Chains A and B, each alone.
Chain A
Amino acid sequence: MIGRRDSSILFATLVFALMLVTAGCGKKPQPVTPPPPPVLAPTASITANPNSIDKGGSVELQWRTGNATSATIDGLGQVDLIGSKTVTPTDSTTYRLVAKGPDGQTSESTVRVTVNTPTPQHGEEPVSLTDQQWFEQNVKDVYFDYDSYDLNASGQQAVAADAKALAQKPGWKITVQGHCDERGSTEYNLTLGDERATAVKNALVAAGVDASRIQTRSFGKEQPFCTESNDACWQQNRRGHFVLSGH
């Protein structure tokens, strides 16, 4: 039914058009309904300030869209049509703003933020490392021989490196924990742990670290790092262990 009416309308339209064409010749054109105005394309623009940062730094993104009904930024998701946001990219990143018009048309704008990764200098790590991570990487524990609190050769090397690292962080305070393996008496091992911690402290002070920055604690054999009964494990437990206690 609808089809028949459609076809009759089509037929009428064709006739009317034919009449127009024929009648148009030499005649004033009849006024017609103007076509709907074309939909304006959306616009998008995004800027970053600054667009080059060092690692760990932050950037302010600003964006603006026109004729858009929605906007997204890759990595940030749906955003306001006009807005700004502070971001801290860890790597160089291209931010792409996509504005979407009411008819589905889209427009894009991109900005690239360059993150400069400095070449690590000696003793200077990327700033993104937490202090704790830096401490663990640079202030290494000192290991001892059996029933000894004298620094052996590798112990002396470790302390020398530790002193250098600590020299870069003059505000940091540390605790040296003295630990022992499971063999021998609880009580005597507490004295041995005390002597180990003190030996490490004295060596650090001799290497120029301010004594007031260093506390010592003995743990004897009460808090072993490793609980098996073998040589490898015992060696792990005979140590001066560093703890960052304040900064």
Chain B
Amino acid sequence: MDTLEVKSQWSSGLITRDSEPQGLKPGVLNSTGGAAETAHSQGRRVRKGLKTSIFALLISVVICPVPSTAQIDQIKTGTGLGVEKVRIAVPDFKPSTADTGNADLLRTFNTTLFNDLSYAGIFDVVSKSFYPLTVPGSPQEIQLDAWGNPPPNAAMVAFGNLGKTGDDLAVQGWLFDVKNPTSPQVLGKQYREKATTDNARLIAHKFADEIIFRIGGGIPGVAESKIVYISGRTGHKEVWMMDYDGQSQTQITKMGAIALSPRLSPDGSRIAYTLLGKNGVELSMYSLELNKQVTFPRFSGTTQTAAWSPDGLKLAFSSSMRGDPEIFIADASGANPRRVTANRGGNSSPVFNPKTGAQIAFVSGRTGLPQIYTSDVDGTNLQRMTNTGYAVSPSWSPNGQFLAFAWKRNYGPGAPGGQDIYVMDIASKQWVQLTHESGVNDYPSWSPDGRHIVFESTREGGTQIWTMLADGSQQRKLTSGGHNQQPCWSFK
């Protein structure tokens, strides 16, 4: 277990109102029982790490109300419910040289580090208005009591200094455990790069990821991860890439046609995407190492929605090369396509289980409106995951346990509700709704640490890219200007 953990709702702070244990269906109890072993073994690890106040992210995925259990009329789920998040103070880093260029670099660095830790999902970042007047720039300057007592009442302090000397930028950063005065240092890091704003941001991301790795149960942070997406801001839909926080938005392809559904390879070297051009709808491959298109075989029919296997050796995609749109799995070169599905009605949007590489989830319209299915990569063990409405765009969580997808649950003319992002526990098929009836929300994609989901939403007019924690909290917009859609988070 290296990423998300599931806890039963009983220990993770699920709040049900007017509910009674007997009101729950046995199936619900069984499913939480199934997760108990996970939670139990997790508990041992968490206890081991308690010395340094490690709290793992907990997601409670619980329960769709079953009609016969009308007693349950309100359910709350969330990240770390019932678990205290680590309270961390992040005072601004101080200048270590007298260079006039320090001010801009410090502003970028401090903002980036503060945001990275605020959005990490495992911290309660202390508001800066509670900080002592003297801010430390080095271990000699810190007064642990001033941070550990109210008003900051912090458990951890991340602090340090930054200085520009000529073209060089040097950063020293520390993480101190305020409640452990005899040996407070948890982390001490030094960074040296060329003095640019981008590097100030990069160093902040690296330091944030170190802190998140130490405090977040050994799960690497995502501050250095990337998001590929489609933007139409040049007048054509092209593949773009940005940092996980929406910074450094960069155009990748310049095809002058319609690019769609970009997927970054696990090693981050290639982007497979769909190209709608004069040859119809086909798969296309862009190399980020060569900075150009690389050859990929052209199949007949509409071929689209490529997804990488976790080892980077296979691609799953949808193609009508043999008539109906079916799911195929081929080598990453496009060679040896093998058909996985065979049914009337379209199949699209496959994704591999990133934990095992042995299953896929995909969308199929075999019964009418599209629904989410899973199967083994050879097409056996077919499971229908959704049973109503319009369900599309599955994304499989890094730990293999959850599917995020877009669902218009109440479907039909005049039906209430919008299209929202949901997360489903695969074993129990219990789901939880993460966005709530604000525009059309689609195309969720898990972050590599399983703590975040990026998605597209029309809630503010125009399609833009948003992120949120995997419990639906801390929703924030990453893009603006033009239409931006179909985000895909990098594998690491």
Q: Which A positions have Cβ atoms within 8 angstroms of B?
A: 147, 184-188, 190-195, 198, 216-220, 222
* A194-B281, A194-B346, A198-B320 known; A187+B365 contact, CB < 8 A: no
Please state if A187 and B323 are interface contacts (CB–CB under 8 Å).
no
* A147-B369, A194-B302, A218-B281 known; A186+B347 contact, CB < 8 A: no
Q: Which of B280, B324, B345 contacts A218 (CB 8 A)?
A: B280
Please state if B325 and A187 are interface contacts (CB–CB under 8 Å).
no
Chain A residues whose CB sits within 8 angstroms of the CB of B261 once the complex forms? 186-187
Interface string of B266-291 (1 = CB under 8 A from A): 00000000101000110000000000
Question: With an 8 A cutoff between CB atoms, is B318 at the interface?
Answer: yes
| Distance (whole angstroms) from the CB of A204 to the closest CB of chain B | 16
Please state if B323 and A186 are interface contacts (CB–CB under 8 Å).
no
Please state if A219 and B348 are interface contacts (CB–CB under 8 Å).
no
Please state if A218 and B302 are interface contacts (CB–CB under 8 Å).
yes
A219 to B276, CA, bound (A): 7
Question: With an 8 A cutoff between CB atoms, is B406 at the interface?
Answer: yes
Please state if B260 and A187 are interface contacts (CB–CB under 8 Å).
yes
Given A188-B392, A190-B281, 9 more A-B residue pairs with CB atoms under 8 Å apart are A184-B390, A184-B392, A186-B443, A187-B393, A188-B346, A190-B274, A193-B302, A218-B280, A218-B302
Q: Which of A147, A185, A193, A216 contacts B406 (CB 8 A)?
A: A185
Q: Name the residue of chain A whose CB is nearest to the CB of B392.
A: A185
Q: Name the residue of chain B whose CB is nearest to the CB of A148.
A: B368
Question: With an 8 A cutoff between CB atoms, is B397 at the interface?
Answer: no
Task: Find the residue from A184, A191, A217, A218 having the highest chain B CB count within 10 A.
Answer: A191
Which chain B residues (289-321) contact chain A, with CB distance < 8 Å?
Answer: 301-302, 304-305, 318, 320
Q: Which 10 residue pairs of A and B lie closest in terms of their CB atoms, listed nearest first?
A: A191-B346, A194-B302, A185-B392, A191-B325, A218-B302, A191-B348, A187-B349, A217-B280, A194-B320, A187-B348
24 A-B contacts, Cβ less than 8 Å apart? A147-B368, A184-B370, A185-B393, A185-B406, A185-B443, A186-B260, A186-B261, A187-B392, A187-B393, A188-B348, A188-B370, A188-B392, A190-B260, A190-B281, A190-B302, A191-B320, A191-B325, A191-B346, A192-B346, A194-B281, A198-B320, A216-B301, A222-B237, A222-B258
Chain B residues whose CB sits within 8 angstroms of the CB of A217 once the complex forms? 280-281, 302
Question: With an 8 A cutoff between CB atoms, is B442 at the interface?
Answer: yes
| Distance (whole angstroms) from the CB of A219 to the closest CB of chain B | 7
Q: Which of A147, A195, A216 contacts B324 (CB 8 A)?
A: A195
* A195-B325, A217-B280 known; A188+B302 contact, CB < 8 A: no
Chain A residues whose CB sits within 8 angstroms of the CB of B363 once the complex forms? 185, 187-188
Question: With an 8 A cutoff between CB atoms, is B464 at the interface?
Answer: no
| Distance (whole angstroms) from the CB of A234 to the closest CB of chain B | 11
Which chain B residues (402-450) contact chain A, with CB distance < 8 Å?
Answer: 406, 442-443
Q: Name the residue of chain A whose CB is nearest to the CB of B485.
A: A186
* A192-B365, A194-B346 known; A187+B302 contact, CB < 8 A: no
Chain B residues whose CB sits within 8 angstroms of the CB of A147 once the complex forms? 365, 368-369
Question: With an 8 A cutoff between CB atoms, is B486 at the interface?
Answer: yes
A147 to B363, CA, bound (A): 14
* A190-B274, A218-B302 known; A185+B349 contact, CB < 8 A: yes
A194 to B237, CA, bound (A): 20
Chain B residues whose CB sits within 8 angstroms of the CB of A184 once the complex forms? 370, 390, 392
| Distance (whole angstroms) from the CB of B175 to the closest CB of chain A | 42
Please state if A190 and B348 are interface contacts (CB–CB under 8 Å).
yes
* A188-B370, A219-B276, A222-B258 known; A194+B301 contact, CB < 8 A: yes
Chain B residues whose CB sits within 8 angstroms of the CB of A187 once the complex forms? 260-261, 274, 304-305, 318, 348-349, 363, 392-393
Chain A residues whose CB sits within 8 angstroms of the CB of B302 once the complex forms? 190-191, 193-194, 217-218
Chain B residues whose CB sits within 8 angstroms of the CB of A219 once the complex forms? 276
A216 to B406, CA, bound (A): 29
| Distance (whole angstroms) from the CB of B454 to the closest CB of chain A | 16
A104 to B490, CA, bound (A): 90
| Distance (whole angstroms) from the CB of B370 to the closest CB of chain A | 5
